[in-house]
Structure 1
Amino acid sequence: MAYQLDHVVVWVADPVRSLDFYRQVLGLEPVRAEEYAAGQAPFISVRLGPGTILDLTPLTAAPALNAVPGAAGTAGNLLNHICLAMPEAEFEALHERLVTGGHRTTPYLKDLFGARGNAPRAFYFGDPDGNVFEARYYE
């Protein structure tokens, strides 16, 4: 059986502020930003690939999601990290944008295991809300 990742909810204080980071630094395209601004959507998403998005969900929505039967205490928590795989050239360009923009990154790490085996290099960085991401490429 092969599943595909559809979306991940990323908790943020201000979706519009967060969208600036995800669009300008990570280069991700917004989804439903205009609908959010018009009050027609509860959050903004950014597209990772053709079938995968990150939902930039405001922390103010956590109480309602915690009220779903069986979900008490699950909403509003940060994940350990989300790993983004990309071609090597995009990996290098992302690292440059982060460093140039004054965002902290870890030193390069080598041979980290993931969904497609070992990645030659990877690094970690955070978004403005403290969500941690790993960037990597595969050969």
Structure 2
Amino acid sequence: MMVYQLDHVVVWVADPVRSLAFYQEVMGLEPVRAVEYAAGEAPFVSVRLGPGTILDLMAVASAPKVDALTGVEGGAGNRLNHICLAMTETEFEALHQRLHAGGHGTTSPYLTNLYGARGNAPRSFYFTDPDGNVFEARYYDPA
């Protein structure tokens, strides 16, 4: 059986600069190509989820160009149901605190034993970014 790695996910946003501030300051993610984007040298800015995975913060206004690139009319600009981010328990608690401290809050209470790629997660919660994209944060027992 083949095993693939997730390279990137495109998240549609109204204002990439505003969104970058949320992903960097609230979620604690490292920006990628922010300087190039600000200089007009990159069509979008990204944030790093891990060594080989990024989120592209793509302006929804560019959806027609992305449709032309992919050859799929109406395929761009749509939201996913949610993106689940796995992290350590310490990172999980810190993100929860930053969301509440920044006035963003969460859209669910702590949930328990939800199944994912690594089995059941002891706790998770859902939250949204400024554009309404839904995320789930979770951690797994280190054992």
| Fold shared per TM-score above 0.5 | yes
Report the Cα distance in structure 2 between the residues aligned to 1:59 and 1:89, rounded to whole angstroms.
33
One-letter identity of the residue aligned with 1:138? Y
Report the Cα distance in structure 2 between the residues aligned to 1:23 and 1:69, rounded to whole angstroms.
29
Deviation readout 1:62-112 (Å, 9 max, x if unpaired): 011122464111100111000000000000000011111111311000000
Helix, strand or coil at the partner of 2:54: strand
Report the Cα distance in structure 2 between the residues aligned to 1:125 and 1:116, rounded to whole angstroms.
21
Aligned pairs for 1:1-139 within 5 A: 1-68=2-69, 70-105=71-106, 106-139=108-141
Q: How many angstroms does 1:60 deviate by?
A: 1.3
Report the Cα distance in structure 1 between the residues aligned to 2:25 and 2:42, rounded to whole angstroms.
22
Report the Cα distance in structure 1 between the residues aligned to 2:26 and 2:49, rounded to whole angstroms.
13
Report the Cα distance in structure 1 between the residues aligned to 2:68 and 2:45, rounded to whole angstroms.
21
**Aligned-residue identity in percent:** 75
Report the Cα distance in structure 2 between the residues aligned to 1:15 and 1:67, rounded to whole angstroms.
21
Helix, strand or coil at the partner of 1:109: coil
Report the Cα distance in structure 1 between the residues aligned to 2:60 and 2:70, rounded to whole angstroms.
19
After TM superposition, the score normalised by the length of structure 1 is: 0.97
Q: Structure 1: any 5+ residue segments left out of the alignment? A: none
Q: Structure 2: any 5+ residue segments left out of the alignment? A: none
One-letter identity of the residue aligned with 1:63? P
Report the Cα distance in structure 2 between the residues aligned to 1:85 and 1:127, rounded to whole angstroms.
17
Helix, strand or coil at the partner of 1:9: strand
CA RMSD of aligned residues (A): 0.9
Q: Report how many residues are paired.
A: 139
